[in-house]
Chain A
Amino acid sequence: MDTLVSFFANIDWFEIWLATGDTMMMLGGSLLFTILLGLPLGVLLFLCSPRQLFEQKAVYALLSLLVNILRSLPFIILLIVMIPLTVLITGTSLGVAGAIPPLVVGATPFFARLVETALREVDRGIIEATQAMGASTRQIITSALLPEARPGIFAAITVTAITLVSYTAMAGVVGAGGLGDLAIRFGYQRFQTDVMIVTVVLLLILVQILQTVGDRLVVHFSRK
């Protein structure tokens, strides 16, 4: 017992508790905005893509290029490039509030592509049948496409949430706070192995929970 206590000598559990809270807030906030922005963008990408309802080659090419640029930018670079914009939006580039804009900008194109792929999995026959019922395009999206793609969209949200967990850890570099920040400042820079282990285990638990909940939702909505 004594050796265990001495091994975790460097750990300030209150600090860990605050950092966990920060990570959860960054994750929750950025996931919310990523879904709010990424879902419509994904639907738009799908509708404009070749041989779909609103086939628009130019719009699709433009959106696609934008998405690809944002996706090819390393997140760490995006964090720094985004600073002026972040300050404009949130008034600060530090802390949880300062981390959310770059997280959203980093994850939205990724999520939108996953949504596009999930929508493409919907059988064309279902779209045709809904058209044949006299549905408007908006009704086709809300009554047929989105409900049918729901398992795929939940899977996309799960993958995006987990990606965001690793992004939040990186956001620590620019002073965002959270578990990743703790791991870098104490675990890595001060060689406090115990802090490193605890933060990594907490992040692992978080990822596990997200994956399990996500998988359950996918199964629940699959109706197969």
Chain B
Amino acid sequence: MIEFHNVHKTYRVAGKDIPALHSTSLRVESGQVFGLIGHSGAGKSTLLRLINRLETPSGGQIIVDNEDVTAMDANGLRRFRQQVGMIFQHFNLLASKTVADNVAMPLTLAGELSRSEIDQRVAELLARVGLSDHAKKYPAQLSGGQKQRVGIARALATKPKVLLCDEATSALDPQTTASVLQLLAEINRELKLTIVLITHEMDVIRRVCDEVAVMDAGVIVEQGPVSQVFLHPTHPTTKRFVQEDEQIDESEQRDVFAHVPGRIVRLTFQGEATYAPLLGTIARETGVDYSILAGRIDRIKDTPYGQLTLAITGGDMEAAFARFTAADVHMEVLR
């Protein structure tokens, strides 16, 4: 479990104090995949680096598994960092070392295992990330996705309890991103590892996270379970991220709405309701007509959801609305 109590961070640049993170309190449960989303400069990178004290907080307290990170001395901090894995946007692998030596590095630095124990552990880790055949290669000979897999294997070497991901997929193409995210989800499930990741893509949050915090100008502006925040965003920053993910252009949408008659509603289905033939049934029984203006059927982590924007005309509209609500479909009347 990771807890932030009134943690804040201010940088001093050229004699001026620049706040990077305003007083923040936060709680990440063990075994959770916790996402932090924000634009660059929103403070998410600072927040992530405070967890393993790559950044020193200006004030407040950070507790990880009942240990006060803020109070640790240099030795304590080194031992603590061995329990926290970290992966990076640009992988940060050592170009001078082979894949196997990169993965072995946290173990050789810790100096607790013998050479043969390290070799065995490295072989296990490379098998887990699917790179057993590449052990003797140098990072420059690998693709971006393979490099990040080496990064993940390296981060897991010391069997950490927490994995920090710093924009881990931002330098990868969509397909590679999907496979790396799948690997992270797998690790989270099988090793019961707590993962904190930062990203600027809502898609990453939607695919792997359980809980999300949205950051803007050094403040967490919205936080909650991903399905809640993603499907019903309240803060303008969150709305913008969701729209980016769904590729909605607001002015275009307004034009479309202006051209259609009747009421406009947005229906959100979750879980089993996503696949039920609700729309047809209700339309038939209440005599309403509908046209679909926008829609998306997808998954939030493992839960299917659907979100449809409909223009509804004729029939018994009120009855139809009541039926939707009764069927556990979230309904928003847009016009």
Interface residues of A (CB under 8 A from B): 123, 125-126, 128-136, 139, 143-144, 147-148, 150, 221-224
Interface hits, B64-89 → A, CB 8 Å: 74, 77-82, 84, 86, 88
B278 adjacent to chain A (CB < 8 Å): no
Jot down 13 A-B pairs with beta carbons below 8 A, ordered by A: A125-B90, A131-B54, A132-B54, A132-B84, A133-B81, A133-B82, A133-B154, A133-B158, A134-B78, A134-B106, A134-B158, A144-B94, A147-B96
| Across-interface contacts of B90 in A (CB, < 8 A) | 123, 125
Report B273 CB to chain A, min CB distance, Å: 43
Q: What CA separation (Å) do A123 and B139 show in the bound complex?
A: 14
Q: Give the top 8 A-B pairs by smallest Cβ distance, nearest first.
A: A134-B81, A129-B92, A125-B92, A134-B82, A132-B86, A133-B106, A147-B96, A134-B78
A123 touches which one: B86, B92, B108, B138 (CB < 8 A)?
B92
Report A223 CB to chain B, min CB distance, Å: 4
Contact check, A148 vs B54: say whether CB atoms are below 8 A apart.
no
Q: What CA separation (Å) do A224 and B106 show in the bound complex?
A: 23
Could you say which of A133, A135, A222 has the most chain B C-beta atoms within 10 Å of its C-beta? A133
Considering the complex, give the chain A residue whose CB is closest to the CB of B74: A136
B301 adjacent to chain A (CB < 8 Å): no
A131 touches which one: B81, B97, B138 (CB < 8 A)?
B81
Report B77 CB to chain A, min CB distance, Å: 8
| Across-interface contacts of A144 in B (CB, < 8 A) | 94
A125 touches which one: B79, B81, B88, B106 (CB < 8 A)?
B88
Q: Given A132-B54, A134-B78, A134-B80, do A150 and B96 touch, yes or no (CB 8 Å)? A: yes
Contact check, B52 vs A135: say whether CB atoms are below 8 A apart.
no
Q: Given A133-B81, A223-B138, A224-B140, do A148 and B95 touch, yes or no (CB 8 Å)? A: yes
Considering the complex, give the chain A residue whose CB is closest to the CB of B79: A134
| Across-interface contacts of A131 in B (CB, < 8 A) | 54, 81
Contact check, A132 vs B52: say whether CB atoms are below 8 A apart.
yes
| Across-interface contacts of A150 in B (CB, < 8 A) | 96
Q: What CA separation (Å) do A130 and B52 show in the bound complex?
A: 12
Considering the complex, give the chain A residue whose CB is closest to the CB of B157: A133
B109 adjacent to chain A (CB < 8 Å): yes
Report B293 CB to chain A, min CB distance, Å: 45
Contact check, B92 vs A223: say whether CB atoms are below 8 A apart.
no
Contact check, B54 vs A134: say whether CB atoms are below 8 A apart.
no
| Across-interface contacts of B164 in A (CB, < 8 A) | 132
B310 adjacent to chain A (CB < 8 Å): no
| Across-interface contacts of A147 in B (CB, < 8 A) | 94, 96-97
Report B129 CB to chain A, min CB distance, Å: 17
Considering the complex, give the chain B residue whose CB is closest to the CB of A127: B92
B191 adjacent to chain A (CB < 8 Å): no
Contact check, B96 vs A148: say whether CB atoms are below 8 A apart.
yes
B94 touches which one: A126, A132, A224 (CB < 8 A)?
A126
| Across-interface contacts of B94 in A (CB, < 8 A) | 126, 144, 147-148
Contact check, A223 vs B81: say whether CB atoms are below 8 A apart.
no
B105 adjacent to chain A (CB < 8 Å): yes
B88 touches which one: A129, A134, A136, A148 (CB < 8 A)?
A129
0/1 per residue, B98-121, Cβ < 8 Å to A? 000000011011100000000000
Contact check, B105 vs A143: say whether CB atoms are below 8 A apart.
yes
**Interface contacts beyond A131-B54, A132-B81, A133-B105: sample of 4 additional A-B pairs, CB < 8 Å, sorted by A:** A129-B92, A133-B154, A148-B94, A148-B95
